[in-house]
Structure 1
Amino acid sequence: MSFGRIPEEVIAAVRAHYDIVETVGKYVHLTKHGKYLKGLCPFHSENTPSFTVTPELQIFHCYGCGKTGNVIRFMEEIEGYSFPEAVQVMAEQADLPVEWNWRAKQAVAQVNPMQVQAVEAYELSAKFYHYVLNHTKQGNEAKQYLKDRGMNDHLINQFQIGFAPDDWDILARFLDKRGYAANFLEEFGLLIAKQDGTGYIDRFRNRVIFPIQNFEGQTIAFAGRILGAGQPKYLNSPESDLFTKSRTLYNWNQAKGNIRKTKQVVLFEGYMDVIKATQAGLENGVATMGTALTEEHCALLKRQTSEVIICYDGDEAGQAATAKAIALIEATSMKVLVAMLPKGLDPDDYISQYGASSFLRLVLDESVSATKFKLIYLRRNHILLNEEGRKNYLIEAINLISEVDTSVEREFYLKELSHEFDISLAALKQDCNEIRQSKQKNVTQRDNNDKSWNNGRNENRKRYPSVPTLLPAYAYAERRLLHVMIQDRDIAETVHARVGEAFNIEDHAAIAAYLYAHYAQGYSANAAHFMETLQDDRLESIVASILMMNEDIPVTDEILEAFVQQILKVPEQKSIDEKKEAMKSAERAGDALLAAQIASEIITLEQQLKRS
């Protein structure tokens, strides 16, 4: 992570103000376990608590998914903030004086200055198109089109909708006067090079323009809807370093606050649906950008919410897309509901025909569960007017219901089948239970199926899930040393003088190097602060695991020396082992003289090792 322009004293003040137990406790039910507190992890699905908070160190760590860090990192993960945004929000909520002015463009500049310039070009272009729509004769027809679609001036301004005139190079000339190179604008999708190589033309012409913004509210792309006849009807900016469809959701910036507040998001297929839904009073709607829902979209949603309502078109294509989206969302353990629009209507059409209040009721109050949708969707594959169709549907429906976790919910759906098809509930329950038992025989009996880290049966694996149960002596010594070095600067300086970075495990050596540098900058021992500076998620997770070693035995000078010797002798022992292998090879080759010479060297090395 990069601290950007945030003063260290601001970060320190935020860390000091927020107690991690109190902060995490607002999101997770924690129970006391010795000097730790435990609860179900908010970042992944589990039945056995593996999420641990250590008040003494002011850190959290999940032994399941590996999430770890201090109170600022927790807020980043749980609320979907960037690091600067988390610090700023937490500082403002605590009424701490914030004397720096963070902007997303500054953070982007550290990564790629060209992206900052591209954002500026898109922002200028969005303002230009918005001006053309509202204040020129060229925009009159587009403005009337939007009015006919039911949009008022407030909505047009809120989404900064614009119009690209039917000219070949009006935007190119506009940006050229402001110093933007045409080839640069082509790279980021605003212009297109002529085929004859004589210049550049505007990508968007005679189209209503819908700006696409990133998480921070910066314009990074456009969606254009052609005015009148022509193809393609809809046109998006091409993907670039700024814009990736699989990771972009339309209206995310405006909706994220309401999504965080309600822990619910409504997912649409298109930007026009989002705009009309917003006008109807729904403030937590987002849409994918001309692509199907992706795992990246789901990961973004999960950082902000626990419930997704899918509101796709009511036609066959929309229902098929809904079925695919459900599978992706359920894989993240978020709750899924589906707004069932009448066949042939999209959200925009429904609002126009039935009004805003009816739409809000349909989406927010009458959405059906994912299981209910699957049962409805399953019907399209069967002809229920004949006996064979009904039988096959029932078999598949029972199989689907068997996957539902709770017995109450299973019985609810089985009762519906019983009433509809006049079959006894007992028979349906028997078949459903047999299917569940058959499936469970093929699954290892543990939480989260294949996640052995979460079965809670092996204490050593719980303490350090990424290493074997029995650690080599030198590995244990390195972990114990790092455990006290992070909390005691004097011991760290002693180890630095004796061992340096000669830890035998690469990750341990890296952690030691970071720690030496941390202290060299004048910082005192502070585990939460140190973890904040690591810039590596894997190392953060290892440090958290090391800090949570349940070892209360003090490290005396004698124990410290023993640990140091255990670490230093590993290279010598490896050298001895290598020579033993070489001696065996010489013996197999019949070279007795060489074998004897190597044996002598081994004796010398072993004597040296004993004396060390």
Structure 2
Amino acid sequence: MNLSQKTIQDVQERADIEEVVSDFVPLKKKGQNLWACCPFHQEKSPSFSVSPNKGIYKCFGCGKAGDAIQFIMDLEGLSFPEAIKQLAEKYGIEIEEDEMLPEDQVKYNERESLFIILNFAAQYFKGLLHEHEEGKSIGLSYFKERGFSNNTIEEFDLGYSLNEWDGFLKAAKKAGHSEELLEKAGLIIKKEDKTYDRFRNRVIFPIHSVAGKPIAFGARILINDKKQPKYINSPETEVYHKSDVLYGIAQAKQHIRTLENCYLVEGYTDVISLHQSGVKNVVASSGTSLTTNQIRLISRYSENITVLFDGDAAGIKASLRGIDLILEGGLNVKVVLFPDGEDPDSYSRKMGDEEFSSYLKNNATDFIRFKSDLLLEETKKDPIKKAETIQDIVRSIAKIPNPVKRAIYIKECSNILEIDEALLITEQNKILLREKQAKGDITQRQVNQLNESFSQAPEQVQKKYSPFDVAAIQEKESIRLLLSYGDLPIEGNTLVMDYLLEELSDAEFVHPVYAEILQEFRHNLEKRKILNEAYFIKNGSEEVRKEIFSLFTDRYTLSENWENKFQIFTVHEKHILNDSVYIHVLRLKHRSILHLLDQNMQKLKTADSTIEEGKLLQYQMQLNQAKLEIGNLLGMVVVK
């Protein structure tokens, strides 16, 4: 759907965040904002805040944030166009589509035709399973032997393909579908001398999109034939990209959100068996290695993933990379290991529903302990391999973006491995620095300087923010002041934006999102357009929007009763704007002086002559004096 900009703009202007959210959760006014228990995770005390004035929401428990459109996308698992359409229907807004170029119209029509054909195929295979003698005697009997109930078979749209070369092809052509589109949908195979069905003599597992549309198929053969693979799957098509899809997500998404956890398995029957046994928050990567996009899809519904492994040690080691990807995606991960010879499917059928559910809860192990037990078992008598294994575990921890979580895992790792925590912190920071260098965020000299400081005082590393964290915090504050008060005057009738942009003229932001916002602000200012947070909420990239939502959502707000009822007047930042901006600029200058001091100290270490050394020492004294003066103005304790 190529929605017109007018439709999108009409929805953005009409959609009221309070009305949209209150359709799903009851809101209660508290101060300037509205509060509720979060619809995205379970909680007893409300931490989900809606700001009608700003048109945004934020949960201070799980971190979800956005506007009315984002709320519908997150809650319903919809794409942006689908959310716009749903809100347009709610508000009675006419849905208009932009006029497409001829080639774009062809692509759009073809995509819609593929969805129609794939739905036809799903219904065709499903009909054969329940109505055709071969389907009932072979396919349905197989599913019944696996213990699948009629409700389960219906819920997952399971089907059967006949033992014929072109049974589906004939039925599809009779229904008016062209061979060209059937091939593009991955349903038939065309060769020079013949055209035939891709799926023959197999039970069928339809693969659905998040919205529940059939987009591909997996098929299992039921006879022992070494010449044929046990499973075959649809090829990549215009509507199916296997790295973006999880089997069972349509059936599991609401359960994942409600239970705040997603069980991750390997195969179709694992998902179906667990779902039938009462574990409905389960999906599968469908035989492919776990991908970043699949993890991102899960994160729309929960921050917690529990990976279920069978007892195959080789398979487990091959899957450890998936755990690292989950950690890198900022999600929490646990692992459940089944006994040798068992997998989620077989074990769920062997145990009763309650017993199996209890097994999952009681045997969920933190990934640190799981990885330690798995890898260290083989290195007991080899200290070199043990050291490499410890480094491997620390590398996994280093992938976690949240520094607080990293610190907790490092402490846990120290306890389990009986290794000094400071040494693990030092190793972790070296890994993080190498990654920053590889991305071009820092230079080799900075790496050497920071590595030297780690080696000299490892016990202090965890207690300090890195220079990059400090810079990002100050950059964030610069953006907040610019967008909130840019067009307001301060002392001398200078506008906040003019004063700040002058002070930032030589600064290079280290945080890519804040750098993007600053660049956009400057670019529009050249066209005499002053931007605020609303502009970036509407037009910014996904990363920019997330930062803006976080930046302009306050957890605590003063009740209006303080002034309206009790006549107690409080100081708003606007009243002390001059001081706020001035102090912020002082902090920017203080950081700049610290950077210059570090640079000058390195030059002192390599000075070639007494004259050069004297000049550098004099400059060092001037910088220290400036640092002292700014520190006194800021109320810092500055050590000379």
Q: Partner of 1:142 in structure 2?
A: 139
SS in 1 for 2:478: helix
Stretch of structure 1 that moved more, 154-163 or 355-364: 355-364
Deviations 1:14-35 (A, max 9, x none): 4153499999999xxxx99xx9
Distance 1:401 1:337 in 2: 17
Within 2, Cα distance between the matches of 1:198 and 1:511?
65
Which residue pairs with 2:331 in the alignment? 334
Equivalent residue number for residue 120 of structure 1: 116
Confirm or deny: 8 A CA contact 1:310 1:336 kept in the other structure. Answer: yes
1:254 maps onto 2:259 in alignment: no
Inter-partner Cα distance in structure 1 for 2:527 and 2:475: 34
- Is the contact made by 1:319 and 1:377 (CA closer than 8 Å) also made in structure 2? no
Aligned residue in 1 for 2:169? 172
Are the aligned partners of 1:268 and 1:288 in contact in 2 as well (CA < 8 Å)? yes
Q: Report if aligned partners of 2:368, 2:409 keep a CA contact under 8 Å in 1.
A: no
2:322 maps to 325
Deviation, 1:229, is 1.9
Letter in 1 for 2:478: N
Shift of the alpha carbon at 1:366?
2.3
Whether the 8 Å CA contact 1:273–1:348 is kept in 2: the answer is yes
- Which of 148, 153, 158 does residue 156 from structure 1 map onto? 153
> Structure 2 matches for 1:267-286, cutoff 5 A?
267-286=264-283
Indicate the residue corresponding to 2:615 in structure 1. Answer: none
* 2:208 is the alignment partner of 1:190: no
Alignment pair present for 1:131 and 2:127: yes
Please give the alpha-carbon distance, in whole angstroms, between the structure 1 residues aligned to 2:339 and 2:541: 49
Alpha carbons 2:256, 2:281 under 8 Å: kept: yes
Contact persistence 2:261–2:306 (CA under 8 A): yes
Where does residue 421 of structure 1 map in the other structure?
Answer: none
Q: CA deviation at 1:269?
A: 0.6
Match of 1:295 in 2: 292
* Alignment CA distance shift 1:510-1:185 (3 Å): farther
Alignment correspondent of 1:237: 234
> Which structure 2 residues correspond to residues 291-440 of structure 1 after superposition, within 5 A?
291-382=288-379, 384=380, 388-389=381-382, 393=386, 396=389, 400=393, 405=405, 428=418, 431-437=420-426, 439-440=428-429
Shift of 1:325: 1.6
Q: Does 1:264 align with 2:261?
A: yes
Equivalent residue for 1:460, pick from 464, 470, 478: 478
Residues 308, 334 of structure 1: 8 Å contact kept:
yes
**Corresponding residue SS for 1:381:** coil
The secondary structure found in structure 1 opposite 2:204 is: strand
Distance 1:416 1:341 in 2: 22
Gap change, CA 1:110 and 1:396, over 3 Å in 2: same
Q: Which runs of 5+ in 2 are unaligned?
A: 41-47, 97-103, 399-404, 430-449, 455-460, 484-493, 502-517, 554-571, 576-640
The alpha-carbon deviation at position 225 of structure 1 amounts to 0.3
SS for the counterpart of 1:345 is coil
What do residues 151-190 of structure 1 show as CA deviations (whole Å, max 9, x unaligned)?
Answer: 1222111111111001011111111112211022112201
Query: Are 2:219 and 2:231, in contact at CA under 8 Å, matched by a contact in 1?
Result: yes
Aligned partners of 2:548 and 2:529: how far apart in 1?
11
Tell me the distance in 2 between the aligned counterparts of 1:129 and 1:349.
Answer: 26
Aligned sequence identity (%): 28
**1:353, distance to aligned residue in structure 2 (A):** 2.7
Paired position in structure 2 for 1:46 = none
**SS in structure 2 at match of 1:311:** strand
Q: Could you tell me whether the CA contact under 8 Å between 2:17 and 2:50 is conserved in 1? A: no
Residue 232 of structure 1 and its aligned partner are, at CA, apart by 0.9
Query: Residue type matched to 1:432 in 2?
Result: E
- SS class of match (1:249): coil
TM-score, normalised to structure 1, is: 0.63
Q: Which region of structure 1 is more displaced relative to structure 2, 156-165 or 77-86?
A: 77-86
| Residue 299 of structure 1, CA deviation | 1.1
Deviation at residue 332 of structure 1 after TM alignment:
1.6
Separation in structure 2 between the aligned mates of residue 277 and residue 163 of structure 1, nearest angstrom = 22
SS in structure 1 at match of 2:309 = coil
- 3-state secondary structure, aligned to 1:235: strand
Q: 1:87 to 1:371 in 2, by over 3 A?
A: same
For residue 435 of structure 1, report the CA deviation from its aligned partner.
Answer: 3.3
- Whether 2:12 is the aligned partner of 1:15: answer no
Q: Distance in 1 between matches of 2:365 and 2:551?
A: 46
CA distance in 1, matches of 2:123, 2:215: 13
In the TM superposition, residue 70 of structure 1 has moved relative to its aligned partner by 2.9
Which residue identity does 1:251 align to in structure 2?
A: G
1:217 aligns with 2:212: yes
Q: 1:435 to 1:57 in 2, by over 3 A?
A: closer
Q: How many residues align?
A: 468
Deviation at 1:479, TM superposition (A): 11
| Distance in 1 of aligned mates of 2:261 and 2:116 | 32
Contact 2:289–2:319 (Cα < 8 Å) also in 1 = no
* Local SS of the residue matching 2:186: coil
Higher relative contact order (CA 8 A, sep 6+): 1
CA contact (8 A) 2:410 2:424 kept: no
Inter-CA distance 99–507: structure 2 relative to 1 (3 Å threshold): closer
Q: Which has the larger radius of gyration?
A: 1
> How many angstroms apart in 2 are the aligned matches of 1:117 and 1:514?
47
Q: Determine if the alignment matches structure 1 residue 208 to structure 2 residue 209.
A: no
Q: Once the 2 structures are TM-superposed, how far is the Cα of residue 410 of structure 1 from its aligned partner?
A: 6.2
Q: Which aligned pairs between 1:499-578 and structure 2 lie closer than 5 A?
A: 528=534, 534=539, 537=542
Unaligned stretches of 5+ in structure 1? Answer: 44-50, 103-107, 418-427, 466-472, 481-503, 517-524, 554-612
Change (3 A) 1:464 1:311: farther
1:40-91 CA-to-partner distances (Å, cap 9, x unmatched) read: xx99xxxxxxx999764334799xxx99853433553577433365568889
Judging changes above 3 Å, is the alpha-carbon distance between structure 1 residues 311 and 540 closer, same or farther for their aligned structure 2 residues? closer
Q: Give the AA of the match of 2:112.
A: V
Q: Distance in 2 between matches of 1:16 and 1:296?
A: 28
Assess if the C-alpha contact under 8 Å between 2:15 and 2:91 holds in 1: no
- What is the root-mean-square deviation of aligned Cα atoms in Å? 5.2
* 1:254 positional shift: 1.1
Cα 1:474–1:251 change in 2 (3 A) is same
Q: 1:337 to 1:182 in 2, by over 3 A?
A: same
Q: State the SS of the aligned residue for 1:339.
A: strand
Q: Distance in 2 between matches of 1:138 and 1:67?
A: 50
SS in structure 1 at match of 2:218: strand
**Rounded Cα–Cα distance in structure 2 between residues aligned with 1:365 and 1:389:** 32
2:425 maps to a residue whose letter is R
Q: Deviations over 1:80-110 (max 9, x none)?
A: 4333655688899xxx7779999xxxxx999
2:337 is paired with a residue whose SS is: coil
Question: What is the match of residue 78 of structure 2?
Answer: 81
Query: 1:262: how far off?
Result: 1.7
CA distance in 2, matches of 1:375, 1:412: 11
How many angstroms apart in 2 are the aligned matches of 1:61 and 1:508?
Answer: 28
Amino acid of the structure 1 residue aligned with 2:232: L
Paired residue secondary structure (1:112): helix
The answer as to whether partners of 1:269 and 1:313 remain within 8 angstroms in 2 is: no
